[in-house]
């Protein structure tokens, strides 16, 4: 028995040594890899912030965007490196990749390296307030029908926050928070859809240049105390003096005559009205006509309109044959009595300032 006990002397030390190796290994896994995951989350947050900061400089200044990305990355996570910076889609999308070395603690004892590289990637886009609203027709009212008379053709998607009742052929998806008339033929119909918020133009209003009475009169407008009346030529001449700017007119606007062919965004606090003649635009020109608290009305005529019609709280009404609208019609309510031909065109938003920035990855 004594000889047997002597043979087992020191076995506990061996077991303890083995257990220490296992303990260190588990400590490395729990502490070091937990720290690694934590640092990666911090790096991802920093990459997101850097990407948003870069997008705020786009599409105009790519160099400033890259500088902003590097600055925000370092400010949020010291030691992080901007690994790559790329822009796409006419500098309206940016992708940032970042990396950082994270030191091991316990894992040094069982691994040959002393650190590990973690990385993160983020992408953001710059768009207008209508970026997510890629609808040919959008009716925001939750109590009024989306309803037309005559033969109506729509190429693009339609959404209404209430019922849709009319005869229409739609090459696209029709969604409604209520019911959809059986006389509507579409690629897909989805009744009882969720309610969507009206696009908010408040950021654009803040950027707009207010044109006072004297300025408008200088470009040939007539004014009766509440309503400005202009011809399309006068309107074009005025907008040409403010290239790539959004203009704001306090009051109502009446456009008499033919030909609205310019690129820009016009915000009216009151009503917008077209009287007589055709709206005849060029193949590449688009204009955004936005009424903040009034209605938009087309009286008679035909022709082609290219751009955005937006009435945040009012009605967009087509009296007579409008011919064709290439773009989007977005109103609290939308009505017509002569038949519609609406073709969705994503390029129609080019006249609207790009004030919205969002992460996409």
Per residue of the chain (361 residues), give pLDDT as tens: 555 455 555 566 665 665 666 666 666 666 767 777 888 999 999 999 999 999 999 988 999 999 999 999 989 888 899 999 999 988 999 999 999 988 766 655 556 567 788 899 999 999 888 887 899 999 999 999 998 777 889 999 999 999 998 888 999 999 999 999 999 999 999 999 999 999 988 889 988 999 999 999 999 999 999 999 998 888 888 888 888 789 999 999 998 876 655 678 899 999 999 886 555 555 557 888 999 999 999 886 666 788 899 999 999 998 876 678 889 999 999 988 878 889 999 888 877 888 889 898 7
Helix (H, G, I), strand (E, B) or coil at 29: helix
- DSSP at 157: -
Q: How confident is the model at residue 158, as a pLDDT?
A: 96
CA distance 189 to 281: 32
- Tokens matching residue 125: 């886009």
* C-alpha closest to that of 150 among 360, 336, 16, 359: 336
Alpha-carbon distance values, 153 to 118, 140, 156, 171, 329 (Å) = 53, 20, 10, 8, 13
Q: Is 213 left (phi over 0), alpha (psi -120 to 50) or beta?
A: alpha
When computed from its CA atoms, the radius of gyration of the chain, rounded to whole angstroms, is 31
CA distance 251 to 229: 11
* C-alpha closest to that of 186 among 164, 219, 215: 164
Query: Do 314 and 296 meet the contact criterion of CB atoms below 8 Å apart?
Result: yes
* C-alpha closest to that of 271 among 285, 255, 259, 288: 255
Query: Is the pTM above the cut of 0.75?
Result: yes
* C-alpha closest to that of 327 among 286, 291, 298, 284: 286
* C-alpha closest to that of 173 among 190, 191, 151: 190
58's CB contacts (< 8 A; 6+ apart) are 65, 87, 91, 92, 94, 126
Q: How confident is the model at residue 17, as a pLDDT?
A: 61
CA distance 61 to 75: 21
Q: How confident is the model at residue 347, as a pLDDT?
A: 83
* Burial of residue 212 (number of CB atoms within 10 Å: 0-12, 13-18, 19+): exposed
Q: How confident is the model at residue 302, as a pLDDT?
A: 65
Sign of the alpha-carbon torsion through 21, 23, 24, 29: positive
- Tokens matching residue 291: 């009424």
* C-alpha closest to that of 287 among 335, 323, 254, 239: 239
C-alpha angle 156-287-206 in degrees, rounded to nearest 5: 110
CA distance 332 to 160: 9
């Amino acid at each position: 028995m004594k000889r047997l006990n002597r043979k087992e002397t020191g076995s506990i030390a061996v077991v303890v040594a083995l257990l220490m190796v296992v303990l260190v290994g588990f400590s490395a896994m729990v502490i070091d890899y937990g720290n690694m995951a934590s640092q990666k989350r911090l790096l991802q947050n920093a990459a997101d912030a850097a990407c948003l900061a870069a997008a705020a400089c786009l599409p105009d200044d790519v160099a400033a965007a890259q500088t902003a990305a590097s600055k925000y990355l370092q400010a949020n996570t010291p030691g992080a490196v901007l690994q790559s910076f790329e822009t796409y889609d006419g500098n309206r999308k940016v992708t940032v990749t970042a990396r950082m070395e994270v030191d091991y603690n316990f894992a040094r004892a069982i691994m040959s390296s002393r650190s590990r590289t973690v990385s993160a990637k983020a992408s953001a886009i710059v768009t207008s307030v209508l970026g997510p609203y890629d609808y040919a027709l959008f009716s925001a009212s939750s109590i009024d029908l989306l309803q037309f008379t005559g033969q109506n053709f729509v190429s693009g998607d339609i959404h209404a926050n209430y019922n849709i009742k009319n005869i229409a052929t739609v090459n696209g998806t029709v969604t409604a928070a209520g019911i959809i008339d059986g006389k509507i033929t579409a690629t897909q119909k989805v009744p009882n859809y969720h309610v969507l918020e009206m696009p908010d133009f408040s950021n654009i209003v803040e950027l707009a240049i207010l044109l006072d009475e004297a300025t408008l009169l200088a470009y040939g407008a007539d004014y009766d105390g509440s309503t400005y009346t202009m011809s399309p030529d006068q309107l074009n001449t005025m907008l040409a003096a403010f290239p790539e700017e959004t203009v704001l007119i306090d009051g109502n606007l009446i456009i008499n005559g033919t030909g609205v062919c310019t690129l820009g965004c016009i915000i009216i606090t009151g009503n917008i009205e077209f009287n007589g003649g055709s709206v005849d635009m060029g193949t590449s020109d688009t204009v955004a006509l936005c009424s903040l608290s009034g209605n938009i009305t087309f009286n008679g005529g035909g022709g082609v309109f290219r751009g955005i019609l937006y009435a945040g709280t009012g009605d967009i009404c087509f009296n007579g044959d409008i011919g064709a609208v290439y773009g989007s019609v977005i109103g609290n309510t939308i009505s017509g009595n002569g038949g519609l031909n609406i073709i969705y065109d994503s390029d129609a938003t080019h006249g609207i300032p790009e004030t919205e920035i969002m992460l996409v990855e």
